[in-house]
Amino acid sequence: MPAIPLGNRFLLMPGTYQVRATAPGYQPGQATINVTQAVGQQFPLALAKLPGRLRIEAPESVQVSIDGKASGAAPGEFELAPGNHTVAIASTRYQPFSASVAVEGLGKAQSFAPKLVPAWGNVAVTTEPPGAQLIVDGQPRGVTPLTAEILAGNHPIELRLEGFKPWTTDVQVKANEPLTLGPVRLGLPDGRLSLRSDPAGAAVSVAGVYRGQTPLDIDVRPDLTQSVVLSKAGYEAATRQVTLKSGERQALVVPMSGVFGEVAIRGQPADV
């Protein structure tokens, strides 16, 4: 005999029945019930909620862990059981993130857009003249003027422009803090002086700064007249005024004059 609905109840003959229930957003429920002649019998049947679909948004590809387990990459969609879940996000370009997200379930789609904090700083670089190539950690990043996203930490930076001396420094970048570098004045290339003396082994100073012994190749500041002094024991010091243009190469040979003193041999003066 089929079940006869009576309002929110059913009229059944005594016996054993297989009962199956469905509802939108829930897993189908099934149970075996034994109906007797008792009046007002009730048989509980719990339906489990369907999982929810959680779409996690991100400005770029990041790694997602849910409840401590690696779950894949975001942006992307994840099927999760109803309830609270701990969502953690890891990325080289963003600071670690973790939050609790409530998933409604019932087959519904939800969206979660975490507020990720950058792990880089915006570094604005300008040069005089402009057009220099910016190199960070050995990698080209563009041409000045520009603003580059550089990960937090200490980084070697180089600026290169044809016809000018390379410029290098180290910068300490802090996460999510802007940094301004410049305007950096790029210098003209030095001149190159090839210096020899006769005899060799003379000490060389340029503008009062010791630079080594001859034979010697040295860089000197361009467009600036500088005193080059050579000195050697037993010889008179020799001075030359040198002016080199940017990038100019010049060779200079300086003869050294011996120093003569007076000595007496057997009481008689003699030049030496």
| CATH number, position 204 | 2.60.40.1120
pLDDT number for residue 188:
87
User: How many residues make up the chain in this entry?
Assistant: 272
pLDDT number for residue 265:
64
Would you say residue 142 lies in a domain? Answer: yes
Would you say residue 206 lies in a domain? Answer: yes
Would you say residue 34 lies in a domain? Answer: no
- Distance CA(55)–CA(75), nearest Å, equals 7
Q: Which of 163, 185, 207 is at the close of a domain?
A: 185
List CB contacts of 4: < 8 A, sequence separation 6 or more.
10, 11, 12
Task: Specify the number of domains making up the chain.
Answer: 3
Would you say residue 12 lies in a domain? Answer: no
User: What pTM did the predictor assign?
Assistant: 0.63
- Distance CA(192)–CA(187), nearest Å, equals 15
Clarify whether residues 124 and 101 are in a common domain: no
pLDDT number for residue 70:
96
pLDDT number for residue 122:
97
Would you say residue 32 lies in a domain? Answer: no
183 neighbors 160 (Cβ within 8 angstroms):
no
pLDDT per residue rounded down to tens, the chain (272 residues): 678 888 888 888 999 999 999 999 999 999 999 999 998 899 999 999 999 999 999 999 999 999 999 999 999 999 999 999 999 999 999 999 999 999 999 999 999 999 999 999 999 999 999 999 999 999 999 999 999 999 999 999 999 999 899 999 999 999 999 999 999 999 888 899 999 999 999 999 999 999 999 999 999 988 889 999 999 999 999 999 999 988 889 999 999 998 866 656 666 665 55
| Domain span at 65 | 52-112
Clarify whether residues 124 and 181 are in a common domain: yes
Would you say residue 229 lies in a domain? Answer: yes
Q: How far is CA 211 from the centre of its chain?
A: 39
Would you say residue 272 lies in a domain? Answer: no
